[in-house]
């Protein structure tokens, strides 16, 4: 995996400059970190969420067995609730993990004043919840691909008998061997099981069964975990507040930056040995429009601005350096090519753009060729992206910066020729093409009512007009659009995805038929690609696995269920009173690993 390409633009460790006013604690003397989300959350039950914003909150409340080192680049996994690294058999089908005794859930009325210790059974229960049909987990299709022995059968049993899921029925794939030992068994070799599953706090953090059963359908509003924070306030789509979990164990800051990583070494020197979480409270405001997000940061109302809006990049970083008026205030910046892709989804079940017949494939490929991605990068993203050649994202296995494909091409003449060849022509002379059978050709593209979406829609309208294809836009809130996409109730939608781990296979989940209803929002079905994907899971890294990756990329580009547009760059700005911020590569948790200095500390 490649080393993260980070550009340190100013005082990256958060040290202040003279004259800075500094941050202040709240009225109760607590250190508060204030951040903003561009898109609303959907809830905080790990088994019921699949959006990145909710999954940014949940790993601060729930804990998986393993975590990523906050400063190691390339990424490195280390124990979180586990007592040491896992043991596995020779063919990577059986994984055994010891849990550290003395870890407790945050206090909750459900526990009736008794401290509730984390046990192996809590992880068994957490994994089983994804398979419960009543939970309707959008991540079940993902977890199912790991083939936990007996788990899919337990789900089918509940479905066929139309009875509640039997959490008490033992299965071979998930076993609590004793109070502190959990064993996982899967049907096929899984060499990357630890990064693929065991280090995913945003999804498979431990949950207490009695809490889930007590709150029932309202469990998304009552997350109770063993993590560093607990939820104390939630105004849906508006405001979220977390506070320090007073029952959190004595866990100290530590990290392993490379010897030549000056930024990381400076952070380690400042924070090593500090008890986690370092801060007392996190406040998240949902600010969908870019201008107020930007102004909030300038006014000091937020402490870290992740993803500076594209229209403000030149104000923030002219020539790639923090602007003098920001640097004078002690504001620092970081820029990185993200392990992420923005792409347009074609609903493969839609009667207009879906289907596997040659003329339907030609339509999707023509549309993809007609999208001027460079204009998107220059005009909308203000240079903060690189052109995507496939779905595989930077910093992951099988990503190759030199790879080139049709997906990355812009060729309007070729796009027009494809449509002409397959009968998409303008029969009535009104300037718009019809379908081969003479019916109108109309694209209906789902979108959101924010500034960047409007700018992207304007470019799409221009590109499709040049192609002779009419487009209508269907505007809705992002959570509702996501729900509709999972249900297949859309034609086209543009959205972004972020890699969850260092293996490039996670980027290809969206092509696997078992992921329909989850990551595979295109509802793409191809047995040959499914078989290749399944081989990827079992193969060790090497030439054979690389060849399988190459063939999946080829098939995905040939049939074009998704048009990958760009890999985004992230430019983040950090107030001088924040110490220790570094954007994670594949995971979302970092709030407990930073300090927010008060007035005297900043002035010191």
Give the model confidence (pLDDT) of 152-207 as tens digits.
Answer: 999 999 999 989 999 999 999 999 999 999 999 999 999 999 998 999 888 899 99
Of 238, 258, 295, 227, the closest CA to residue 582 belongs to 258
Q: Regarding predicted confidence, which is higher, 205 or 10?
A: 205
* Mean pLDDT value across residues 127-138: 96
Strands 281-286 and 32-37: what pairing?
parallel
- DSSP, collapsed to helix, strand or coil, labels residue 420 as helix
* pLDDT beyond 80 at 20: no
pLDDT of amino acid 135: 97
Q: What is the pLDDT of residues 447-501, one digit of tens each?
A: 999 888 999 999 999 999 999 999 999 999 988 999 999 999 999 999 988 887 8
- pLDDT at position 65, please? 98
Q: 38: closest CA among 582, 517, 495?
A: 495
Q: For the chain, how are helix, strand and coil distributed in percent, rounded to 5?
A: 35, 20, 45
Task: Flag whether pLDDT at 603 surpasses 70.
Answer: no
Q: How confident is the model at residue 8 (pLDDT cuts 50, 70, 90)?
A: very low
Please report the domains of the chain, with CATH numbers, ordered by start residue: 6-271 (3.40.190.10), 340-568 (3.10.105.10)
pLDDT at 602: 58
pLDDT at 3 over 70: no
Partnered with residue 445 across adjacent β-strands are: 473, 492
What does pTM read for this prediction? 0.80
Position 25 scores a pLDDT of 55
The pLDDT score that the predictor gives to residue 12 is 34
Greater model confidence, 447 or 141:
447
CB-based burial, 409-427: b 16+ in 10 Å, e otherwise: ebeeeebbebbeebebeee
How do residues 39-67 score in pLDDT, each as one tens digit? 899 999 999 998 889 999 999 999 999 99
Residue 517: pLDDT band (50, 70, 90) is confident
Q: Which pair of tokens denotes residue 594?
A: 């930073």
Distance of CA 102 to the CA centre of its chain: 31
Q: What percent of the chain has pLDDT over 90?
A: 81
Whether the pLDDT of residue 256 is over 50: the answer is: yes
Q: How would residue 22 be classed by pLDDT, with cut points 50, 70 and 90?
A: very low
Mean pLDDT over the full length of the chain: 92
């Amino acid at each position: 995996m490649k080393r993260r390409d980070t550009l340190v633009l100013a005082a990256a460790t958060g040290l202040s400059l003279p004259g800075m006013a500094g941050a202040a604690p709240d009225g109760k003397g607590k250190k508060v970190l204030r951040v903003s989300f561009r898109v609303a959350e959907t809830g905080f039950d790990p088994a019921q969420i699949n959006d990145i914003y909710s999954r940014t909150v949940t790993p601060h409340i729930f804990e998986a067995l393993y975590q990523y080192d906050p400063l190691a680049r390339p990424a490195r996994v280390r124990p979180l609730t586990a007592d040491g690294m896992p043991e596995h058999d020779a063919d990577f089908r059986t994984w055994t993990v010891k849990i550290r005794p003395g870890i407790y859930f945050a206090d909750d009325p459900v526990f009736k004043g008794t401290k509730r210790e984390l046990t192996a059974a809590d992880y068994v229960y957490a994994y089983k919840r994804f398979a419960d049909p009543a939970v309707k987990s959008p991540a079940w299709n993902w977890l199912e691909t790991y083939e936990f022995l007996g788990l899919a059968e337990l789900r089918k049993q509940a479905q066929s008998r139309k009875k509640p899921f039997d959490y008490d029925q033992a299965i071979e794939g998930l076993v609590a061997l004793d109070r502190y030992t959990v064993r996982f068994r899967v049907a096929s070799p899984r060499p990357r099981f630890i990064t693929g599953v065991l280090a995913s706090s945003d999804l498979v953090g431990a949950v207490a069964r009695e809490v889930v059963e007590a709150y029932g359908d309202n469990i998304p509003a009552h997350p109770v975990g063993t993590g560093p924070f607990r939820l104390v306030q939630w105004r849906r789509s508006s405001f979220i507040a977390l506070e320090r979990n007073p029952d959190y164990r004595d866990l100290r800051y530590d990290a392993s930056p490379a010897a030549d990583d000056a930024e990381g070494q400076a952070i380690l020197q400042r924070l090593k040995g500090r008890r986690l979480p370092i801060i007392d409270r996190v406040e998240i405001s949902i600010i969908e429009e870019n201008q107020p997000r930007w102004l909030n940061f300038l006014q000091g109302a937020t402490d870290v601005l992740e993803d500076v809006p594209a229209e403000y990049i030149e104000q923030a970083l002219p020539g790639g350096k923090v602007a003098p008026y920001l640097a004078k205030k002690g504001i620092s910046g970081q820029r990185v090519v993200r392990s992420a892709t923005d792409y347009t989804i074609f609903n493969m079940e839609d009667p207009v753009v879906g289907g596997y017949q040659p003329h339907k494939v030609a339509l999707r490929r023509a549309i993809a060729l007609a999208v001027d991605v460079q204009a998107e990068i220059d005009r909308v993203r203000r240079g903060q992206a690189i052109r995507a050649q496939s779905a595989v994202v930077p910093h992951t296995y099988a990503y190759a910066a030199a790879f080139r494909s049709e997906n990355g091409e812009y060729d309007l003449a070729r796009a027009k020729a494809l449509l002409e060849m397959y009968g998409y022509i303008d029969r009535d002379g009104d300037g718009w093409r019809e379908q081969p059978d003479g019916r109108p050709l109309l694209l209906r593209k789902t979108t959101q009512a924010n500034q960047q979406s409007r700018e992207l829609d304007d470019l799409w309208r221009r590109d499709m007009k040049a192609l002779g294809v009419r487009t209508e836009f269907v505007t809705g809130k992002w959570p509702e659009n996501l729900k509709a996409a999972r249900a297949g109730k859309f034609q086209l939608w543009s959205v972004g995805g972020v890699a969850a781990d260092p293996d490039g296979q996670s980027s290809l989940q969206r092509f696997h038929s078992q992921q329909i209803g989850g990551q595979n929002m295109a509802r793409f079905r191809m047995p040959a690609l499914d078989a290749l994907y399944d081989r990827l899971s079992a193969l060790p890294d090497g030439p054979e696995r690389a060849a399988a990756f190459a063939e999946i990329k080829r098939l995905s580009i040939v049939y074009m269920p998704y048009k990958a547009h760009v890999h985004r760059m992230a430019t983040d700005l950090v107030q001088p009173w924040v110490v220790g911020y570094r954007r994670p590569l594949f995971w979302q948790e970092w709030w407990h690993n930073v300090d927010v200095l008060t007035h005297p500390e900043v002035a010191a």
